[in-house]
Structure 1
Amino acid sequence: MTEEEARQALLERQAQLEQEDATNADSRDTVELQQDSVGRLSRMDAMQQQAMAQAQERRRAAERARIRAALERLDEGEWGYCVRCGEAIAAARLRHDPGVAMCVGCAGGAG
């Protein structure tokens, strides 16, 4: 994967995450108590759905941060090298996830 292909893949994923955020924004809103139409179990279900939506949003935020960091590494000429040991990251690993920051050894705790 070339640096330009990586940049394009990262930007596409970033746009996809932003779209998912916009689509799911109302799922994270506060669950209002409507005693006339929603029973206790329905409210609990709604709160659980809200919690899951908020957890998904946190995961998307973390992925966006990883993408921003990878784009910075691309700009600095450091993309493709492990941020811990400095060795080149395997091409197959980068093809699978161009946002990866560490080689397999360091990511597994061996580095």
Structure 2
Amino acid sequence: MDDKTQTAFRARITARLTEIDEEDARGEAGQATVELDQQAVGRLSRQDALQSQAMARATHARRDIERRRLRAALTRLDEGEFGWCEDCGEEIATARLTLDPAITRCISCARG
């Protein structure tokens, strides 16, 4: 993989990490503690709030996983290992990396 392609992947990964940070900032309110005040919020409204809170936390957890995978991809770029299968050592197709730059295995190894 040439330097121009690596630079493009680095920019794409960095942009996605920025998007994830922005999504986290917007999602913080949804993870706030749900108050137990039955006078202010009815039972069903509270259940809805708890469900929304659980969904917000699950979404945050998925973003954390994606963030770790993307940071690992940046590390592989820095170390010259980006684009190479961690199992067999063969080059991962650029089209596959374009779909998900955090991929660590070629299609053959991913299929098993």
Question: With structure 1 as the length reference, what TM-score do the two structures score?
Answer: 0.93
How far apart are residue 98 of structure 1 and its match?
1.5
Higher relative contact order (CA 8 A, sep 6+): 1
How many residues in Structure 1 have an aligned counterpart in Structure 2? 109
Aligned equivalents of 1:6, 1:78: Cα separation in 2: 13
CA distance in 2 between partners of 1:106 and 1:31 (Å): 45
Q: Report matched runs for 1:75-94 at 5 Å.
A: 75-94=78-97
CA distance in 1, matches of 2:60, 2:110: 24
Q: 1:43 aligns with which of 46, 54, 72?
A: 46
Q: Could you tell me which amino acid in structure 1 is paired with residue 15 of structure 2?
A: E
Equivalent residue number for residue 34 of structure 1: 37
Q: TM-score, normalised by structure 2?
A: 0.92
**Structure 2 unpaired stretches of 5+:** none
Task: Tell me if 1:53 matches 2:71.
Answer: no
